[in-house]
A and B are shown apart, each in its own frame.
Chain A
Amino acid sequence: MSATRLKYFQTGSFAAGNRLVEPDQRAVQSDPQRANAITCGHRACQGCGEALGARYALDAALRATDGDLIATNATGCLEVFSTPYPESSWQVPWIHSLFGNAAAVATGVAAALKAKGNTHTRVVGQGGDGGTVDIGFACLSGMFERGDDVLYICYDNEAYMNTGVQRSAATPPAAYTTTTQAVGDQPGAAWGQGKDAALIALAHEIPYVATATIADLRDLERKVHTAMEIRGARYIHVLVTCPLGWGAASADSIKLARLAMETGIFPVWEGEHGDVVSVTKIRHRTPVEEYLKLQTRFRHLFAPVRRDDVIARIQARADRNIARFGLLEALDEDQLDEAVEVDV
């Protein structure tokens, strides 16, 4: 009997269902026996993208290391909602020290393991965008340049959500936060500010840098897995939605993360030793307006007066990402790596 290879995607999401693939290709989360880095019962908001991203990332790291893992954590939402002691959600050895030192504490853990001749236990540092791109940036950069054997994961929800939604260096221009209010001629966060932490990480020429979103969790799992197969300093920057800070419906968390990618606002790529080596192509190019209008942090762009000028500027920024990273180039068969091939 001849076989025909077909490609299956779930409508809209392009994510392949676990039931369509071989057991060994299924997602970490589909395994009823999976390791669970963060158990249920934590106090994250409904629809929290960080809780989802951290669980998938850490569970993937646990699977990749066979449970032999130590995690450090910066102060922030993730630390607060997961450890109102004695209700710790962490099933891995976990330490929180300060807001700005998660990368350095991870370096210390890695140094101690090395001194003890322990080559099997691996180290993951984690923080939000504030703890990573702002207050923790010196420690992060130091960890990178020394090549310490740490995977650092930033869960970026684009502002200081834990303290009540203040602007960080990851807040996008024009976004409302409590310190970039929607008043005046140029409402929201200023233009020409902010930093791209993933590109700066890449500039350290460390072995592995990747971006990801919670819209494509299998991609996140794969990237964590890839990172755990490499030694040295590694960085994954995950865009995680925040219903509270973004002013969005909890049910829209995944949709918003997908739109951030499909509009070109958040480019998803992988880099090695200073070079971008692969990008996730945009399959349904979507105007930024579709992304912006779902979030009250951007509502001042639509009412009382519609600010086409600002929306166009955000569109131009997304278009620049698309051009810069080649997010729209024609897909060839090999690049449909997320598709599932099934013999029928």
Chain B
Amino acid sequence: MLEQIEGSQAVARAVAACRPEVICAYPISPQTHIVEALSRQVKSGALAPCEFVNVESEYAAMSVAIGASATGARAYTATASQGLLYMTEALYNASGLGLPIVMTVANRAIGAPINIWNDHSDSMSQRDSGWIQLYVESNQEAVDVHLQAFRLAEAVSLPVMVCMDGFILTHAVERVELPEQEQVDQFLPTFVPRQQLDPEHPLTIGAMVGPEAFTEVRYLAHYKQMQALDLIPEVAGLFEQRFGRSSGGLVRRYRSDDAETIIVALGSVLGTIEDVVDELRATGERIGAVAIRTFRPWPAAEVRSALAGAGRVIVLEKALSVGIGGIVSQNVQGALAGLPASVHTAIAGLGGRPITKASLRQLFAAARAGRLGELTFVDLNHQLVDAEIQRMLSDRRSGPHAENMLRDVGVVGAGPV
């Protein structure tokens, strides 16, 4: 059914259609609208049998999901930013125990400085947590990929993070095709847990494991993610067959087959990138884009194949690994080992800074002219940074960077204190 609907509401509808049995919620922007909508559905009885637990922290949210999943219930939660970091310990535990929890991450920056707007710092920080990470480009894809996520998680007994851009997607109202309940019931089999706490068949889960088997347990986690590499396209294919539209999968190519320059990115920014690609294609430039839809497991072969013909690859990322630069680009470089393409990292959109077509045109023009270095900070205000660096050099007690620079740009308390 087509509806004009907010991204969060659409995701809530999709999750509800998956018949979750336990939902844990702790508020953090920008994911709140999702769990608010689900709380209403549970309270009204529409989702019965389902328990909605208002927990005291994200750490508890993931812990309650762990207990519920280990008891054989389909468990769901949503978070973002600081909340994802606060549950980090439990994230590793959920994947280590092999519990198929599904979680929406409404991607948001991590402080300090505190910032509620979108980038990918949160989920990228958990790339080694053992969770499968799927990134969506639109609200339609957000809906579709949540359905796929439950099927995938339960098939391989691993938790899945569906990463959608905070505000840009979660708060955007657009036309979305919402699935019918019968369709979802046919697509998503009943959850048969691989392990379950059951007094009839007592199990010990979470035992101490020493050097004699720890490597093997970790290897199996990797093995299952490698299995997921095969399963993700399979599930996406089945989804397309049942629902008649393409969503999910490992990577998506956009006008990249004969491209000399290829932009690699994740999430909603692909829309803007594709617009610029179209404009430049119209001028005869051989440029294209590749969307990374699955970041963990890392689809190295598909990325290599998609980028093999390019002379230049620009990885546009909404996260920064301080001290080295790009995160996705390191993975891309690994996938391209031995190929001639030059890989450039462009850090963009941090803390919600808009990634405009103008900025992208400028970036691609620099690349075309051979002026693009290994690491670029798109739209960096050099004047602002230079002034602060100057202050640091001249005054040992120059104070906090964030507040100094905000004063310079006049956002707060313009002028000297």
Are B67 and A95 closer than 8 Å at their CB atoms?
A: yes
**Cβ of B417 under 8 Å from chain A:** no
Are B71 and A113 closer than 8 Å at their CB atoms?
A: yes
Give complex CA distance A85, B205 in Å: 10
| SS class, residues of chain A in contact with chain B | mixed
Cβ of A276: which chain B residues have Cβ within 8 Å of it?
none
Are A111 and B208 closer than 8 Å at their CB atoms?
A: no
Give complex CA distance A106, B55 in Å: 13
Cβ of A307: which chain B residues have Cβ within 8 Å of it?
none
Cβ of B130: which chain A residues have Cβ within 8 Å of it?
none
Contact with A along B44-67 (1 / 0, CB 8 A): 000001110111110110011111
- Which of B1-9, B195-203, B277-285 makes up part of the contact surface? B195-203
Cβ of A146: which chain B residues have Cβ within 8 Å of it?
53-54
**Cβ of B347 under 8 Å from chain A:** no
Are A84 and B210 closer than 8 Å at their CB atoms?
A: yes
Cβ of A106: which chain B residues have Cβ within 8 Å of it?
67
Are B60 and A111 closer than 8 Å at their CB atoms?
A: no
Cβ of B63: which chain A residues have Cβ within 8 Å of it?
97-98, 101, 104-105, 107-108, 139
Among A112, A138, A145, the residue within 8 A (CB) of B67 is: A112
**Smallest Cβ distance from B307 to chain A, in angstroms?**
40
Are A85 and B204 closer than 8 Å at their CB atoms?
A: yes
Using CB atoms, name the residue of chain B closest to A122.
B199
**Cβ of B400 under 8 Å from chain A:** no
Cβ of A70: which chain B residues have Cβ within 8 Å of it?
71, 197-199
Are A104 and B67 closer than 8 Å at their CB atoms?
A: yes
**Cβ of B209 under 8 Å from chain A:** yes
**Cβ of B349 under 8 Å from chain A:** no
Contact with A along B18-54 (1 / 0, CB 8 A): 0001101000000000000000000000000111011
Are A109 and B208 closer than 8 Å at their CB atoms?
A: no
Give complex CA distance A85, B201 in Å: 17
Within 8 A of A (CB), among B41-100: 49-51, 53-57, 59-60, 63-73, 75, 89-90, 93, 97
Are A115 and B49 closer than 8 Å at their CB atoms?
A: yes
Among A90, A105, A111, A145, the residue within 8 A (CB) of B202 is: A90
Cβ of A90: which chain B residues have Cβ within 8 Å of it?
202, 204
Cβ of A85: which chain B residues have Cβ within 8 Å of it?
204, 207-209, 213
Are B22 and A108 closer than 8 Å at their CB atoms?
A: yes
Cβ of A107: which chain B residues have Cβ within 8 Å of it?
53, 55, 60, 63-64, 67
Cβ of B24: which chain A residues have Cβ within 8 Å of it?
108
**Cβ of A290 under 8 Å from chain B:** no
Are B67 and A142 closer than 8 Å at their CB atoms?
A: no
Give complex CA distance A69, B75 in Å: 21
**Cβ of B410 under 8 Å from chain A:** no
Residue count of chain B within 8 Å CB distance of chain A: 43
Number of chain A interface residues as a range: 35 or more
**Cβ of B206 under 8 Å from chain A:** yes
Give complex CA distance A97, B70 in Å: 10
Within 8 A of B (CB), among A74-91: 79-80, 83-85, 88, 90-91
**Smallest Cβ distance from A272 to chain B, in angstroms?**
24
Most buried by B among A112, A117, A138: A112
Give complex CA distance A72, B82 in Å: 27
Within 8 A of B (CB), among A104-151: 104-117, 121, 138-139, 141-142, 145-146, 148
Are B90 and A142 closer than 8 Å at their CB atoms?
A: no
Using CB atoms, name the residue of chain A closest to B205.
A95
Using CB atoms, name the residue of chain B closest to A145.
B56
Are B197 and A111 closer than 8 Å at their CB atoms?
A: no
Cβ of A148: which chain B residues have Cβ within 8 Å of it?
53
Are A104 and B199 closer than 8 Å at their CB atoms?
A: no
**Cβ of A93 under 8 Å from chain B:** yes
Among B51, B71, B93, the residue within 8 A (CB) of A98 is: B93
* Given A70-B71, A105-B64, A108-B63: A114 in contact with B51 (beta carbons within 8 A): yes
Are B21 and A116 closer than 8 Å at their CB atoms?
A: yes
Give complex CA distance A116, B70 in Å: 13
Give complex CA distance A145, B70 in Å: 23
* Given A104-B67, A109-B197: A98 in contact with B60 (beta carbons within 8 A): no
**Smallest Cβ distance from A99 to chain B, in angstroms?**
8
**Cβ of A94 under 8 Å from chain B:** yes
Which 8 pairs of residues, A with B, have the shortest CB-CB distance? A108-B67, A104-B63, A112-B73, A142-B56, A112-B71, A96-B206, A101-B63, A105-B67
28 sample A-B contacts, Cβ–Cβ < 8 Å, listed by A number: A67-B199, A70-B198, A72-B67, A73-B206, A84-B210, A88-B204, A90-B202, A90-B204, A93-B203, A95-B205, A96-B207, A98-B63, A101-B66, A105-B64, A105-B67, A108-B53, A108-B63, A109-B70, A110-B67, A111-B53, A111-B67, A114-B49, A116-B73, A138-B57, A138-B59, A139-B60, A139-B63, A148-B53
